[in-house]
Amino acid sequence: MSDAVENPYAILEQRIGYAFLDRARLESALTHKSYLNENPGWGRPDNERLEFLGDAVLDLVVGHLLMEAQPTRTEGELSKTRASIVNELGLADVAGELGLGDWLFLGRGEESSGGRRKPSVLADACEALVAAIYLDGGFDAAFVVVRHLFGSRVLGAGEAGSTDYKTRLQERAARRRVQVRYSVVQERGPDHDKTFEIAATIGDREYARGTGKTKKEAEQRAAEMALRTLDGES
């Protein structure tokens, strides 16, 4: 039997760069409270307590990385930058890159309402995952994983730590003497729970797309991804 069959989380562990010694911790991190409510005999706690611990671990490690990457920043600037990296949107982005939603244990109601794509659910699971790694492998293991998952965001947060990616993208475009346009590519879901996909176009070229529960959120994500594309070209 292959390892992928023996370990249903092999792909996820490969993406995060860590193999769990006790997979029960990983399964707890992936367990939403709605699943436990419907499956009381599951044998794993939900991830709410892990979220609490993961938030603290993330603050410490990202703060450490920022101290190294931005030695001239003040305490206030560092705090603002850290908050922009580990807020709900940032955590949901990391979870999305990992495909974390595919592994979540959700109740039927949460599943039917699009829980695997909800930023709040994904952000909570991301925090819980970091805590599970910390408990399973210690601080050094958690440090390595957080640096792997968030390192590029730390290095890319040098511009005052602002989360207003649209403004930053507009400034970059102005230096090129071109305009930025945002257009709705797709709307999904019922009126009370829509998800928007928006494209960011600079000049006559589409640079990136972003999704969000509001058009503003989707535009910010598209602008962030477009900035990363521009940085890569530079």
Q: Which residues are catalytic?
A: 55, 127
Distance of alpha carbon 169 from alpha carbon 77, whole angstroms: 20
Residues belonging to the chain: 234
Distance of alpha carbon 161 from alpha carbon 82, whole angstroms: 8
Q: Taking the mean position of all CA atoms in its chain, how far away is CA 187? A: 21
Q: Which residues does 130 contact at the CB level (< 8 Å), separation at least 6?
A: 54, 57, 58, 142, 145, 146
Distance of alpha carbon 133 from alpha carbon 23, whole angstroms: 10
Distance of alpha carbon 25 from alpha carbon 10, whole angstroms: 15
What residues does 28 pair with on adjacent strands?
A: none
Cα–Cα distance list, 18 to 27, 77, 93, 219, 220 (Å): 14, 31, 19, 33, 30
Nearest Cα neighbor of 29 from 97, 107, 127, 113 is 127
Q: What single letter denotes the amino acid at residue 10?
A: A
Contact 82, 63 (CB under 8 A): yes
